[in-house]
Amino acid sequence: MATCERVKKLLPGHLDGDGTAAERLVVDQHVSTCSDCALELEITRVVAASLYEIFAPERLTHDLTGPVLAHLPQMEPAGPLHDLTERVKHPRRRGLVARCFSWVPAGAMMVMAVLVMVLWIAWPRPQPLGAASVGMVVHREGRASQTSSATMSSRAVRLRDGVVPGTVYETPEGAALILALKGSTEVRLFENSRMRVNHDRSLHVEAGTVHLNVGKGQQYFRVGTRDGQITVFGTEFGVEILPETTRVTVVRGEVQVENRNTFTVLRDGEGTLLGRDFKELVAYRTDTSEMEGRVAALNARVDGDIAYAGGASTAKGTGTLRAERVFVVETRKQSVRALHFRWKPGNTSLERSGYDVYVSDNSLRPVFKGRIEGWMLSDIRSTSCSLALPADVAWRDIGLLHIMVLPDFVSGRLETNFTEVYATTY
């Protein structure tokens, strides 16, 4: 993680537009989470603007090139030009061999120019850190490759490559990668793994083993797999794709694991096996030392300067930050037929994000998983919608419902301000 002292040294160049793209990314990431450095940046910006205005009358208003050249002394020719001109106009006749050798320097230069051009075209280049980048490759081992989902073109991964959404990273036998994403998130791909980056807060693990250290952010982090989805609230955990299931192991922090039928929450030192059609997800205590050992061994080989440039952090204990709304509905142990959601009417017709709905009982055990589609929320005339609940729930044992709503940001980026949730009974 970049220190405040290092970032403050970069602030003047940041304001002047100097520095590398990596340095600008480091400053932007740091000031987004550090109020002291953000204040220092604002003070520096104000001082620079004030100095610009104060010295405005002293700035030059005309070009000094002419007066300066007029006062330079007249220089004498370095040698007699007449003899040189005569030799150029009337060269002596030379033999065929001599004339051929006279072209050797020019021919060598032409050959070198062609070779340089060919190498320049064929040489693999790192992806620049532009507006589309959401992070940087800070460590690479072996022959890791990356494929663009847009163009389907593949090439070798290079250090300091920008991480662009839609890129698939693959690490064959003996290869490994570390990606540093915005929001102080680190992603480690061990050998024989494959993963797609959707954006800075969303990944999809397709094969192998991936370790994530997710920093806190304004938006929660989601990891997709073939068997289900993991919602992260500032957590260090591992995902391993097995032949029939997916193993999720939490080193520290908290994640929510779900499939199409149900969900569960894992905390420090817990794991679960995630199956696509499992009716229940069972959390169990697990030994995380093997995963931590693999991470430590990979960290020992990371170039510290490159990790700093990418904004990476190997610090532990990121803490948790939930980014959802939770409502509590008292059922009085009656059978619930449906849940009803209300929100304030909108003033725009922009597409709104859809929401996943997670319903738990008094003891926070999963009861039901539902979905509110974005189109149900996008009509500016609508202020409510309903969600039917299954009839086979043992309602006599449930006195309270905990209802959590999470936006998915797939159907739209605009969130909905839910104001009330209530239930109707049979």
Residue 115 binned pLDDT confidence (cut-offs 50, 70, 90): confident
d(CA 361, CA 20): 52
Mean of per-residue pLDDT scores for the chain: 81
* Alpha-carbon Rg for the chain in angstroms: 31
In the block, which residue shows the tokens 């663009």?
A: 148
Quick check: 215 and 185 in contact, CB under 8 A?
yes
Residues 14-29 have a mean pLDDT of 78
CA distances, 308 to each of 297, 304, 380 (Å) = 19, 6, 46
- Which residue segment(s) compose the domain that 169 sits in? 135-309
Q: Let me know whether 303 and 373 are in one domain.
A: no
**Residues 275 and 163 both lie in one domain:** yes
* 378 and 292, same domain (yes or no): no
**pLDDT recorded at residue 188:** 96
- pLDDT average, residue stretch 390-416: 85
Question: What pLDDT digit, counting tens, does each position of 199-222 carry?
Answer: 888 899 999 999 999 876 657 789
Rounded Cα distance, 234 and 268, in Å: 12
Q: How far apart are CA 275 and CA 268, in angstroms?
A: 21
3-12, 292-301, 322-331, 376-385: least confidently modelled range: 322-331
Q: Which of 19, 37, 57 is the last residue in one of the domains? A: 57
Give the pLDDT confidence of 256-294 residue by residue, as tens digits.
Answer: 999 988 999 999 999 999 999 999 999 999 999 999 999
Same domain? For 179 and 301 the reply is: yes
pLDDT score for 303: 61
Instruction: Tell me if 110 is assigned to some domain.
Output: no
Using CA atoms, how far residue 89 sits from 78, 85, 100, 103, in Å, is 20, 6, 20, 19
pLDDT at 330 over 60: yes
The answer to whether residue 310 scores a pLDDT higher than 70 is no
Domain count, the chain: 3
**Beta bridge pairs of residue 422:** 340
Quick one: DSSP state of residue 91? P
Same domain, 270 and 149: yes
Q: Considering 57, 74, 102, which residue would you say is the last residue of a domain?
A: 57
**Across the beta sheet with 270-274, what order do the strands follow?**
135-141, 176-181, 185-189, 209-213, 236-241, 246-252, 270-274, 284-285
List, in order, residues 6 or more apart from 21 with CB less than 8 Å away.
128, 129, 130, 162
Are 297 and 151 in the same domain?
Answer: yes
293 and 380, same structural domain? Answer: no
Same domain, 187 and 281: yes
The reply to whether 152 and 278 lie within a common domain is yes
Note the residue count of the chain: 426
Whether 288 and 146 map to the same domain: the answer is yes
Same domain for 383 and 407?
yes
Q: What is the pLDDT, as a whole number, of residue 287?
A: 94
CATH label of the domain that carries residue 401: 2.60.120
* Residue 364 CB neighbour total at 10 angstroms: 12
d(CA 158, CA 164): 13
Q: Is residue 305 part of a domain?
A: yes
Domain presence at residue 112: no
Identify any residues that bridge with 313 across adjacent strands, giving them in sequence order: none
Q: Which of 284, 309, 334 is the endpoint of a domain? A: 309
Residue 97, in any domain of the structure: no
In which band, very low, low, confident or very high, does the pLDDT at 316 lie, cut at 50, 70 and 90? very low
